Chain A
Amino acid sequence: MKSRSLSFVIAVVIAAGIATIAAQEGHPLEGTWYGDYSTGNQKTDLTVVMKWDGKSVSGLINPGPNSKPLTSAVLDIIPGKPAPQGQQSTTGVPPTFKVRFDVDGMTFEGTLRNPVGGNRQLVGTWKRAAQSGAFQIRRL
């Protein structure tokens, strides 16, 4: 029991360390994302690695022997509105970041939450033929 607690503590410390090191302020999609997608009540783990080369986003899911490359990945930006003159900056409407990527016959479409912050998330829906469901991934 003690060793299990110790293992948990070590795992948490390592995870926090990795997450802290990984925090970045560059392109919103760059990095490793982890979460899941659902089919009915069943959830499946999903890891997505995305890279920005200055012109396009590339990447893969589930790195390892069963990884699959992204066949397309697009970031669309819907402009926001700056705060009116003389008002608190927080009264402005931020731009919205819409993301779509295709992989292994599946299409994922979602919206970035906190798109340029360290704790950004991508939340949306996926579909493949007649199947569909929700997904959410968080940038590590």
Chain B
Amino acid sequence: MRGPFTLAACLTFAVATTSGAFAQDAGAGQGRAAGAGGQGRAAGAGGQGRAGGQGRGQGRGAAAPSAPTPRWPDGKPILGSVPGQPVGGWGAGVTTLPQGQLDKIPFQPWARAAYDIRQIDQFEPHTRCKASGVSRQFSTPYGTEFVEVPDLKRMYIMDNGGPNSYRIIYLDGRSFPQNIPLTNYGYSIGHWEGDTLVIETRGLNEKFWLDTRGTPHTSQLKFTERLTRTDMNTMRYQATIDDPGAYTAPWTTADFNLRWRPGDELFEYICQQYNEGPTLMLGSQEEIDNTRFFVP
């Protein structure tokens, strides 16, 4: 047990160090209270446990009356915090892309079998602090914070919990480079279609799941997200999965709604260090396979 966790702790430290500039000292105690990364399937305090449904702040029910969509001086919607108002973030959501419509998803046979197995073993990389890109980022414990930098024509989507890392969305009209190195967050380019930010991501590796339920993908994935802030408190989210390595045709999810949580902002969260329930990370209360030198 010590070997793998020592190695994992070193890797986590490296990630935490590089993202440390974005951390806020808003409550180390919050991290500890979350226990196993906050996203244990069985426990999931503040997370998106399978048994507990979707995370706090997320849901499809009727929203409270809300202020209109905030906008920048040029009229584009503000997707993050509004200058001059308290900082906030988006609550965790998007726990399952198929949303109960499994039979309509064009899985390749191996991908459906992989999905079925994951319903049993629940051995998700994210619960072991592995950065998990695109849609999976929106079910990170404690949600996400959008940091828009109009002058730089880019946006950062920060994980508040979990791996405590971030994704860059380029908004400067660039094209995808040739031979994108495969990474957990991939290479994301955004453009506006009316009030909807369309984000296309390529260059994703195969080291994470697309959602907490285990929707599989390969490195051939082209992932398109459509985000529309319909009012101050609501972000509509939809994704299209185009992955000939895992599906026989592209498919598009139903809409998800993320909920705005005023006052939420980044805080120091060191996923591995604060993990006080390693067995909870496997969901079914199973023990980690100690016969291997590393934890996959």
Q: Is A10 an interface residue (CB 8 A)?
A: no
A80 surroundings in chain B (CB, below 8 A)? 113, 116-117
A-B contact count (CB 8 A): 105
Residues of A107-123 contacting chain B, CB below 8 A? 115-119
- A115 contacts B209, CB within 8 Å? no
Q: Is B196 an interface residue (CB 8 A)?
A: no
Q: Which residue of B lies closest to A88 (CB)?
A: B284
Complexed CA–CA distance, A12 and B292 (Å): 12
Beyond A12-B293, A24-B206, is A116–B245 a contact (Cβ under 8 Å)?
A: no
Complexed CA–CA distance, A89 and B121 (Å): 8
Residues of B1-34 contacting chain A, CB below 8 A? 3, 7, 11
Q: Is A41 an interface residue (CB 8 A)?
A: no
- A119 contacts B289, CB within 8 Å? yes
- A25 contacts B125, CB within 8 Å? yes
Q: Is A40 an interface residue (CB 8 A)?
A: no
- B216 contacts A26, CB within 8 Å? yes
- B121 contacts A16, CB within 8 Å? no
Q: Is B69 an interface residue (CB 8 A)?
A: no
B11 surroundings in chain A (CB, below 8 A)? 20
Interface string of B104-146 (1 = CB under 8 A from A): 0000111001101111111101000000000000000000000
Residue count of chain B within 8 Å CB distance of chain A: 40
- B120 contacts A19, CB within 8 Å? no
Q: Is A59 an interface residue (CB 8 A)?
A: no
Q: Which residue of A lies closest to B292 (CB)?
A: A119
Complexed CA–CA distance, A118 and B124 (Å): 10
The A interface, classified by DSSP as helix, strand, loop or mixed, is loop
Q: Is B72 an interface residue (CB 8 A)?
A: no
Complexed CA–CA distance, A52 and B291 (Å): 28
Complexed CA–CA distance, A54 and B113 (Å): 15
Complexed CA–CA distance, A90 and B122 (Å): 9
- B117 contacts A27, CB within 8 Å? no
Residues of A9-51 contacting chain B, CB below 8 A? 12, 15-17, 19-20, 23-28, 30
Residue count of chain A within 8 Å CB distance of chain B: 34
- A23 contacts B116, CB within 8 Å? no
A16 surroundings in chain B (CB, below 8 A)? 3, 7, 293-294
CB distance from A31 to the nearest CB of B (A): 9
B117 surroundings in chain A (CB, below 8 A)? 80, 94-95, 115-116
Beyond A52-B245, A54-B220, is A28–B110 a contact (Cβ under 8 Å)?
A: yes
A-B contact pairs, 11 of them (CB 8 A): A17-B7, A19-B294, A23-B294, A24-B205, A26-B216, A77-B113, A89-B283, A95-B113, A97-B110, A97-B113, A117-B121
Question: 5 shortest A-B CB distances, which residue pairs?
Answer: A118-B296, A26-B206, A24-B206, A95-B113, A23-B296
Which residues of B pack against A, CB within 8 Å? Answer: 3, 7, 11, 108-110, 113-114, 116-123, 125, 205-209, 216-220, 244-246, 283-284, 286, 289, 291-296
Taking A19-B294, A20-B7, A90-B120 as given, write out 11 further A-B residue pairs in contact, using a Cβ cutoff of 8 Å, ordered by the A residue number.
A16-B294, A26-B217, A82-B116, A82-B119, A83-B119, A90-B286, A115-B113, A116-B216, A117-B296, A119-B289, A119-B296
Which residues of A pack against B, CB within 8 Å? Answer: 12, 15-17, 19-20, 23-28, 30, 52-54, 75, 77, 79-80, 82-83, 88-90, 92, 94-95, 97, 115-119
